Amino acid sequence: MSSVADNIRKIRDDIVEAARRAHRDPSGVRLMGVTKTVDDQRIDEAIRTGLDIIGENYVQEGKRKIEAMGKTLEWHLIGHLQTNKCKYAVRLFDMIHSVDRLKLARELDKRAGIAGTTMDILVEVNVSGEESKSGVTLQAALPLIREISTFEHIKVKGLMTMPPWFDDPEDARPYFVDLRKLGARIAKENIPGVEMKELSMGMSQDYRVAVEEGATIVRIGTAIFGERSYV
Ligand SMILES: *Cc1c(COP(=O)(O)O)cnc(C)c1O
């Protein structure tokens, strides 16, 4: 079995190659290690090898790990967030990728204000429109971002998506293209306080394609840490 460090090195190489194919600067792509269910020892190995970001799906699990491991790099929340967890999330995480409704944004704004911070967020877009997926629709993204832009304590930094799962990662390409185009369209609106610099897209299966289409953060679990075991 290959080690966490070997896996990360291989993924880094792949990212560089994919960026070059698309005539992009590879330093514009950050590697997130997605650590749901992963034990602390392997997370530690990954951090030492040189991840840019750790991504956690759950506030509770993230809290425990951040307290155990310290904040030597950025920790982002990528999973579905309930409004009653916002007060913890704003104190723990450097960015939240899963903002997909006004009520959640409003609560994050309030809690960030109380905590005396400004929370960086991404708006999650359900590009495929699958009912099982969270995320705002392509059509609703701009109106939502306009409303969020009026909040003082949260700042929109870009977009996040999760395409459907395909055997062939090429099939995910149109969804990445749609997210990039949406980001470009929103950027043209020049909404005060809104930046469209991040595209959080690409996972173990399809990160090469995502980088070719403009990803700035790839979120990778299995390809770094192996299959997850849910107990
Ligand atoms: C689990 C997860 C990932 C990582 O998935 P892998 O296929 O294991 O790389 C990325 N993004 C989100 C939102 C996830 O929940």
Atom of ligand 1 nearest to the CA of 205: 7
Rounded Cα–Cα distance for residues 231 and 228 (Å): 10
Model confidence band, residue 1 (pLDDT cutoffs 50, 70, 90): low
Rounded Cα–Cα distance for residues 191 and 150 (Å): 10
User: Residue 56 has which token pair?
Assistant: 């956690």
pLDDT at 229: 76
Per the document, the length of the chain is 231
Compute the average pLDDT of residues 100-118. Answer: 98
First to last CA, the chain: 22
| 3-class secondary structure, 33 | strand
Atom of ligand 1 nearest to the CA of 203: 9
| 3-class secondary structure, 195 | coil
- Give residue 144 CA to ligand 1 midpoint distance, Å: 25
pLDDT at 231: 58
The CATH number of 4-221 is 3.20.20.10
Structure confidence by residue, pLDDT tens digits, 18-64: 999 999 999 999 999 999 999 999 999 999 999 999 999 999 999 99
pLDDT score of 230 more than 90: no
Q: Which of 126, 123, 88 shows the shortest CA–CA distance to 107?
A: 88
Rounded Cα–Cα distance for residues 99 and 108 (Å): 9
φ, ψ at 30 (rounded to 5°): -105, 140
Residue 155 host element (H or E):
strand 154-161
Atom 10, ligand 1: which residue's CA is nearest?
219
Q: 62, 68 in Cβ contact below 8 A?
A: no
Q: 56, 77 in Cβ contact below 8 A?
A: yes
Residue ranges per structural domain of the chain: 4-221
- Give residue 37 CA to ligand 1 midpoint distance, Å: 11
Percent of the chain whose pLDDT exceeds 70? 99
Q: 120, 94 in Cβ contact below 8 A?
A: yes
User: Residue 13 has which token pair?
Assistant: 């190489």
Atom of ligand 1 nearest to the CA of 97: 13
- Give residue 221 CA to ligand 1 midpoint distance, Å: 6
Structure confidence by residue, pLDDT tens digits, 116-132: 999 999 999 999 999 98
Query: DSSP character for 183?
Result: H
- Give residue 103 CA to ligand 1 midpoint distance, Å: 25
pLDDT at 2: 75
Atom of ligand 1 nearest to the CA of 219: 10
Compute the average pLDDT of residues 1-5. Answer: 84
Atom of ligand 1 nearest to the CA of 224: 9
Query: What is the CB < 6 Å shell around ligand 1?
Result: 34, 36, 57, 78-79, 162, 203-205, 219-223
Atom 6, ligand 1: which residue's CA is nearest?
221
Q: 91, 71 in Cβ contact below 8 A?
A: no
Q: Which of 183, 172, 182 shows the shortest CA–CA distance to 207?
A: 172
- Give residue 36 CA to ligand 1 midpoint distance, Å: 9
- Rounded to two decimals, the pTM is 0.97
Q: 149, 156 in Cβ contact below 8 A?
A: yes
- Give residue 203 CA to ligand 1 midpoint distance, Å: 6
Compute the average pLDDT of residues 126-146. Answer: 96
